Amino acid sequence: MKIVNDKRLPEFKRIEHLLYGINYEVWFNLYGPLDTGLGLEQVLKNNISKKVQLSGVVASSQQEAKKEIMAQVLYEGDVGSGPIKLDEKREEITSLMSKVFSLIDFDSADLVSEFGFRKGHPAYPVFWNFAYDIHSNDKRWIFIGSSSD
């Protein structure tokens, strides 16, 4: 038997529970604070997987990133796959995500970059996924989310 100690944020665990649905589940993780002096790919290799290869990095803003993240988190799905009764849970999910954004001082970030994985993604994205490198108050955070079937 393998015992796993899940040290991810309680907000992520709750959101994952709220969004569980028909042929649908989500996964989130926040890595950090991490070394701001290293290149992104090296940070990912040191903290996620030695096999990581980036597929691209694009500058973003706090507003664009937050809008994109929330659009994906609140993805409604369709008849065959998606969260169950999302409308009833939307307010709690939004509140929990606000706590996560606050924890990393997201609104004060001086650098936000969206990136993709060519290899080494820590989850199994099917419907959507996001990955952001966020620098805020001299701290670096890697925020990743995805959904799968």
User: 3: pLDDT confidence band, cut at 50, 70 and 90?
Assistant: low
The first and second tokens of residue 102, run together, are 């606050």
Establish if 5 belongs to a structural domain. Answer: no
Establish if 3 belongs to a structural domain. Answer: no
Range of the domain at 101: 10-148
Establish if 45 belongs to a structural domain. Answer: yes
Establish if 4 belongs to a structural domain. Answer: no
| Cα dihedral value 10, 78, 66, 53, nearest 10 | 80
- pLDDT tens digit string along 38-97? 999 999 999 999 999 999 999 999 999 999 999 999 999 988 899 999 999 999 999 999
Strand partners, 53: 119
Provide the CATH number for the domain around residue 25: 3.40.1000
pTM of the model: 0.94
Number of domains in the chain: 1
Provide Rg for the chain, Cα atoms: 15
State how far the Cα of 115 lies from the Cα of 144, in Å rounded to an integer. 10
- pLDDT tens digit string along 92-133? 999 999 999 999 999 999 999 999 999 999 998 999 999 999
